[in-house]
Structure 1
Amino acid sequence: MALRREAFLGHVQGRGKYDSPHEADRAARVVLALLGAHLVGEVRAQLAARLPDEFALILLNPLQSAEPLPPERFVRATAAWIEGATEQTATWDVSAVLSTVADTAGDDLLGQILLQLPEGYDLLFGRPQTT
């Protein structure tokens, strides 16, 4: 079952230590738009089904990416889309949103998501994988 928007943003806001739901919303929109460009098919559809409607639409209509970005470039791209962001603040934004996404997705779906992403995203999701 999909999380309600307020609940999802509440988790992001808490993890990102944002002053307002508006800041959490901005981070969630940018990170999910970038993430959506990296996921395809059933995995993207399953994740969208677990997100609040508004964020599911963002995931399903992503910013275009010519290639899957390695984690460092994903963070840099996030910084470029958030006004006034630095790589440090963008790392915080990405982590706050993706760790919430990881909880929302559950372990099985997260495993499928990580298979579609370049190496190193497990850390951005806050779920380091043992190799």
Structure 2
Amino acid sequence: MTLRHEAFLAHVRERGEYESLDEAERVARVVLALLGAHLVGEVRARLAARLPEEFALILLNPLQSAEPLSPERFVRAAAAWIEGATERTAAWDVSAVLSTVADTAGDDLMGEILIQLPTGYDLLFGRPQLT
């Protein structure tokens, strides 16, 4: 199931408690560009297929990352790209977007996504894994 652009942003806006859809969109663009740099191959393509087209294109044409970032460094990178963000607000922003992505992806694809990411991303997606 693909969420329409506005519906996806409405979820991000609600979770992030943003004033406007524009603010939610700015945050979503940054977080998805960073996420796209961490996913490869079929997993990235399958996630993109479930996102609204505009966000799918961002995921498929990511910012380049020389190495996978730890969850903490991912949040720091988001803070650097989101205008006016601090690490604390960026953690909130990342969580608002990635929890919406997790809902869109579904449990099976989320399992595959988390396998590609460094340990700890389950918390950013709002999906703490039992160990």
Q: Within 2, Cα distance between the matches of 1:118 and 1:66?
A: 14
- Structure-2 residue corresponding to 1:32: 32
1:76 CA drift (Å): 0.1
1:2 CA drift (Å): 1.4
Whichever residue aligns with residue 14 of structure 1, its letter is E
- Structure-1 residue corresponding to 2:100: 100
Whichever residue aligns with residue 33 of structure 2, its letter is A
After TM superposition, the score normalised by the length of structure 1 is: 0.99
Query: Identity over the aligned pairs, expressed in percent?
Result: 83
Q: Within 1, Cα distance between the matches of 2:17 and 2:70?
A: 26
Q: Within 1, Cα distance between the matches of 2:108 and 2:60?
A: 20
1:83 CA drift (Å): 1.0
Whichever residue aligns with residue 68 of structure 1, its letter is P
Q: Within 1, Cα distance between the matches of 2:67 and 2:2?
A: 29
Runs of 4+ in 1 over 3 A off after TM superposition: none
Q: Within 1, Cα distance between the matches of 2:36 and 2:90?
A: 17
The alignment status of 1:130 with 2:120, answered yes or no, reads: no
- Structure-1 residue corresponding to 2:72: 72
The alignment status of 1:58 with 2:58, answered yes or no, reads: yes
Whichever residue aligns with residue 115 of structure 2, its letter is L
Q: Show structure 2 runs of 5+ residues with no match.
A: none
Whichever residue aligns with residue 125 of structure 1, its letter is F
| SS of aligned partner of 2:37 | helix
Q: Show structure 1 runs of 5+ residues with no match.
A: none
Whichever residue aligns with residue 126 of structure 1, its letter is G
Whichever residue aligns with residue 27 of structure 1, its letter is V
| SS of aligned partner of 1:38 | coil
- Structure-1 residue corresponding to 2:3: 3
After TM superposition, the score normalised by the length of structure 2 is: 0.99
Q: Within 1, Cα distance between the matches of 2:4 and 2:83?
A: 26
Query: In angstroms, what is the RMSD of aligned CA positions?
Result: 0.4
- The C-alpha deviation readout for 1:87-113, integer Å capped at 9, x for no partner, is 011000000000000000000000000
